[in-house]
């Protein structure tokens, strides 16, 4: 009985060493994706193409680039449908072409800290470092998604300009505030319905 207990005692560390845990982290956070998609939706909803309802239009995304560009293009197409336009899949079937472009479709971050930032302290003779925690008397971090789109509508056969649209940029945000080390609150506009 004592021999079995000793064998189990020595075997347990070996068994534990074989255990592994897998953590996955995507290249971009869900918050960043929500910031961009929220700003893109708001910007798309502010586009007024200047094309009469009922026209057959082709939305040309060739010059539209940026993070989540496909999502933004889909939001712009949805806005065209909301304006009563008829989307066609090919240019040859369109009465009007709407060229779209992105002036901005990205995220920004601003930080303000009154206190002591986190830093690494070398540990002598251990070959490592100890991370000294951040001490925040006041801290505010703002993450913003910004979208700025423009559109030019022109006659598909004549090539003449019908209208242009370039609304003011749209933004989404998350704000995290810390006061006196541990009192914290946050605010965002990610789940609020757009007007």
Q: At residue 147, what are phi and psi to the nearest 5 degrees?
A: -135, 135
Per-residue pLDDT at 19 exceeds 70 = no
What's the distance, Cα to Cα, between the start and end of the chain in Å? 75
Q: pTM for the whole thing? A: 0.76
Residue 27 has a pLDDT of: 81
CATH numeric code, 28-188: 3.40.50
Residue 7 has a pLDDT of: 43
Within 10 A of 185 (CB to CB), how many other CB atoms are there? 9
> In whole angstroms, what is the distance from residue 148 CA to residue 127 CA?
49
The residue that leads in pLDDT, 1 or 26, is 26
Residue that is written with structure tokens 């989307």 in the block: 87
Segments making up each domain of the chain, as ranges: 28-188
> In whole angstroms, what is the distance from residue 169 CA to residue 144 CA?
12
Residue 170 has a pLDDT of: 95
Residue 121 has a pLDDT of: 84
Question: What's the token pair of residue 166?
Answer: 């370039």
Give the list of residues 6+ apart from residue 100 with CB closer than 8 angstroms, or none. 59, 60, 61, 63, 64, 73, 76, 149, 150, 151
* Secondary structure class of 33 (helix, strand, coil): helix
DSSP code at position 168: P
Q: Using one digit for the tens of pLDDT, what is the confidence trace for 150-166?
A: 999 999 999 999 999 99
């Amino acid at each position: 009985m004592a021999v079995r207990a000793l064998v189990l005692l020595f075997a347990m560390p070996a068994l534990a060493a074989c255990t592994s845990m897998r953590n996955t982290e995507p290249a971009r956070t869900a918050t960043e994706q929500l910031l961009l998609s929220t700003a893109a939706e708001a910007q798309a909803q502010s586009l007024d193409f200047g094309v009469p309802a009922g026209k057959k239009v082709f939305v040309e995304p060739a010059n539209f680039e940026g993070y989540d560009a496909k999502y933004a293009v889909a939001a712009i197409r949805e806005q065209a449908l909301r304006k009563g336009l008829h989307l066609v899949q090919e240019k040859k079937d369109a009465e009007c072409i709407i060229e779209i472009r992105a002036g901005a479709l990205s995220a920004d971050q601003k930080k303000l800290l009154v206190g002591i930032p986190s830093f690494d302290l070398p540990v002598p003779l251990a070959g490592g470092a100890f991370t000294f925690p951040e001490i925040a008397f006041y801290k505010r971090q703002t993450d913003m998604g910004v979208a700025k789109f423009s559109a030019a509508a022109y006659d598909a056969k004549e090539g003449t300009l019908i209208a242009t649209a370039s609304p003011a940029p749209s933004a989404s945000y998350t704000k995290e505030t810390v006061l006196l080390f541990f009192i914290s609150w946050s605010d965002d506009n990610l789940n609020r319905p757009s007007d």
